[in-house]
């Protein structure tokens, strides 16, 4: 076993020769970041009023081919505002996957709604349409007040899949389920900027979606998030709510709702504008890394997770599947001891105490995957042409 492990570590260190430790996913600043940041400081526009916020939104809109993009302080806040702006009410339920980062579930609770946890597919790592149907058929009933969870008595209003590690879920089937049961489709696309399903950008399939620009994501703004939507009304409400719900007036402070101070500052957006200028290069570099990993792991008989059918993945975090939880844990210790950062999948939401009052069904695939997944270093590889500035 150690022979295999040492081969993997050698290979990863060769991919990232100048880095010690080799990070799981480090940001890269290869363009105009410093120039645009200086511009913010010189202009004094460092908070959320400033040209870079609008420019960043325009760039994302064009890239994802979506009508509205509303920049927020982070992805978690963006999910909360997206749900509130879409009219999700207290105690309503939103179906999501057990295998996700806690922010998906936390943001649903921040919006006063409840997540319902269903299983994922082994072929996508994301929400399983089949598991959704099992839940809907077994535990819900149609009433004059909408679809009700027979156990919790709460109203089910939406489904929010998450594109795990950048791999698109089977979104067409999930969309069909939404149509069949009269549910709203949201997407947690925090990890999937640059990922496509049937040539459409992830996050463009439902009522609205969210991206994250945390320091560990495909591109970063330091901290940041974005709501994507084609819905004019939702976009206007999200923009208004996230900027303290203040009515437009030259001097008076009149707020027509309990607002949030969640808008992305100009200095963060400035970094994002620069990163967007070479997003295509970032995606290409990451795809090349995934191909190298794929070839290497197939030679040593370890499963490297590849983009699902009909999908183009951004390969945000490369993923291998080991044979058992014991092997996973042994490799995590071995690699981290040798300064190669690797990590397991998140502990399933089903097991986390803060969500113990949320409804869930059996999640055998999520459990199976959680025991075996290891994320391996996935940053853009530095070479002679793209030296860090
Ligand atoms: C699946 C998922 N949802 C939501 C978020 C929240 O984004 P942020 O960290 O920008 O708040 C993240 C990332 O961190 C994420 O991975």
The per-residue DSSP string of 294-310 comes to HHHHHHTT-EEP-PPTT
Q: Which tens digit of pLDDT belongs to each residue from 262-277?
A: 999 999 999 999 999 9
Q: According to the model, what pLDDT value does residue 388 have?
A: 52
Ligand 1 atom at minimum distance from 216 CA: 14
How many A from CA of 158 to the centre of ligand 1?
19
The answer on pLDDT for 384 being more than 80 is: no
In this model, does residue 135 exceed pLDDT 60? yes
**Beta carbons within 8 Å of 337's beta carbon, 6+ residues apart:** none
Domain 33-275 has CATH 3.40.640.10: yes
Mean pLDDT of 87-102: 98
- Nearest in space to 261 (alpha carbons), one of 237, 246, 244: 244
Strand partners, 321: 303, 373
Instruction: Assess whether the C-beta atom of 80 lies below 6 angstroms from ligand 1.
Output: no
Which pLDDT value is given to residue 389?
47
Which pLDDT does position 1 carry in this prediction? 63
Q: From the CA of 138, how far away is ligand 1's center (Å)?
A: 31
**What pLDDT sits at residue 387?**
65
Q: How many CB atoms lie within 10 A of CB 67?
A: 12
Q: What gap in Å lies between CA 345 and CA 112, rounded to an integer? A: 26
Contact assessment for residue 378 and residue 286, using Cβ atoms and an 8 Å cutoff: yes
Alpha carbon nearest to ligand 1 atom 8, residue: 75
- pLDDT-derived band at 385 (thresholds 50, 70, 90) equals confident
The structure tokens listed for 185 are 């489709």
> For residues 366 and 350, is the Cβ–Cβ distance under 8 A?
yes
% of the chain beyond a pLDDT of 70 = 99
User: Region 132-155: what's the mean pLDDT?
Assistant: 97
Query: Given ligand 1 and candidates 190, 262, 316, which is best to mutate, with the most ligand atoms within 8 Å of its CB?
Result: 190
The sheet with strand 208-212 has its strands ordered as 68-72, 225-229, 208-212, 184-188, 156-159, 93-97, 114-118
Residues 6+ apart with CB under 8 A from 94: 83, 88, 108, 113, 114, 115, 116, 156, 157, 158, 159, 160, 186
Q: Is the pLDDT of residue 221 over 70?
A: yes
361: Cβ contacts below 8 Å, ≥ 6 apart: 117, 118, 119, 131, 134, 135, 138, 139
Taking the domains of the chain in order of start, what are their residue ranges? 2-30+278-376, 33-275
At residue 212, the pLDDT reads: 98
Q: Is the CB of 57 under 6 A from ligand 1?
A: no
For residues 39, 45, 51, 52, the Cα torsion angle rounded to the nearest 10 degrees is 70
Residue 76 CA to ligand 1 centre (angstroms): 6
The answer to whether the CB of 204 is under 6 A from ligand 1 is no
Q: Is the CB of 75 under 6 A from ligand 1?
A: yes
Q: Provide CB contacts within 8 A for 1, sequence distance 6+.
A: 327, 330
pLDDT digits (tens, 9 = 90+) for 235-256: 999 999 999 999 999 999 999 9
DSSP string, 103-117: HHHHHHHHTT-EEEE
**pLDDT value for 2:** 80
Total-model pTM: 0.97
Our measurement of the distance from residue 377's CA atom to the centroid of its chain's CA atoms, rounded to an integer in Å, reads 18
Residue 319, pLDDT score: 98
For residues 81 and 258, what is the distance between their CA atoms, to the nearest angstrom? Answer: 12
Distance of CA 200 to CAs 128, 203, 208, Å? 20, 9, 14
pLDDT in tens, 315-359: 999 999 999 999 999 999 999 999 999 999 999 999 999 999 999
How high is the pLDDT of residue 178? 98
CA 113/CA 90 separation, integer angstroms: 5
Ligand 1 center from residue 26 Cα (angstroms): 16
Cβ neighbour number for residue 241 with a 10 Å cutoff: 19
Residue 49 or residue 336, greater confidence: 336
Q: Does ligand 1 have an atom closer than 6 angstroms to the CB of 74? A: yes
Residue range 2-30+278-376 forms a domain whose CATH class is alpha beta
pLDDT of residue 49: 86
| Rounded Cα distance, 196 and 309, in Å | 11
Q: What is the mean pLDDT of residues 280-308?
A: 97
Question: 111 C-alpha to center of ligand 1: Å?
Answer: 15
What sign has the CA pseudo-torsion 350, 351, 352, 356? Answer: positive
Which one, of 209, 144, 223, 162, lies nearest residue 349 by Cα? 162
Alpha carbon distance 78, 2 (integer Å):
43
């Amino acid at each position: 076993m150690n022979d295999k492990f040492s081969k993997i570590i050698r290979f990863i260190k060769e991919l990232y020769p100048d880095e010690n430790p080799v990070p799981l996913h480090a940001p890269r600043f290869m363009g105009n970041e410093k120039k645009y940041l200086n511009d913010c400081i010189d202009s004094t526009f460092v908070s959320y009023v400033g040209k870079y916020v609008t420019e960043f939104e325009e760039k994302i809109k064009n890239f994802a081919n979506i009508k509205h993009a509303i920049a927020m302080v982070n992805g978690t806040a963006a999910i909360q505002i997206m749900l509130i702006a879409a009219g999700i009410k207290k105690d309503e339920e939103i179906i999501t996957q057990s295998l996700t980062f806690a922010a998906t579930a936390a943001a649903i609770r921040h919006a006063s709604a409840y997540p319902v946890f269903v299983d994922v597919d082994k072929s996508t790592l994301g929400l399983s349409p089949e598991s959704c149907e099992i839940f809907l058929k077994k535990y819900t009933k149609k009433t004059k007040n909408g679809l009700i969870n027979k156990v919790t008595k709460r109203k089910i209003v939406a489904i929010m899949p998450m594109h795990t590690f950048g791999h698109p879920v089977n979104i067409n089937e999930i969309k069909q389920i939404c149509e069949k049961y009269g549910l709203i489709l949201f997407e947690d696309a925090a990890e999937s900027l640059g990922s496509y399903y049937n040539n459409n950008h992830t996050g463009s399939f439902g009522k609205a979606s969210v991206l994250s620009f945390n320091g560990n994501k495909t591109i970063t703004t330091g901290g940041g998030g974005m709501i994507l939507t084609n819905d004019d009304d939702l976009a206007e409400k999200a923009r208004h709510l996230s900027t303290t719900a203040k009515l437009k007036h030259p001097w008076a402070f009149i707020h027509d709702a309990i607002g949030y101070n969640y808008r992305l500052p100009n200095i963060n957006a400035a970094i994002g504008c620069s990163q967007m200028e070479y997003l295509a290069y970032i995606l290409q570099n990451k795809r090349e890394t995934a191909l190298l990993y794929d070839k290497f792991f197939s030679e040593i008989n370890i499963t490297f997770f590849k983009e699902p059918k009909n999908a183009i993945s951004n390969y945000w975090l490369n993923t291998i599947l080991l044979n058992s939880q014991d092997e996973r844990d042994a490799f995590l210790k071995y690699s981290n001891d040798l300064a190669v950062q690797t990590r397991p999948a998140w502990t399933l939401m089903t097991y986390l105490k803060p969500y113990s009052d949320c409804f869930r069904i059996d999640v055998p695939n999520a459990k199976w995957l959680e025991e075996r997944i290891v994320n391996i270093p996935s940053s853009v590889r530095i070479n002679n042409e793209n030296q860090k500035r």
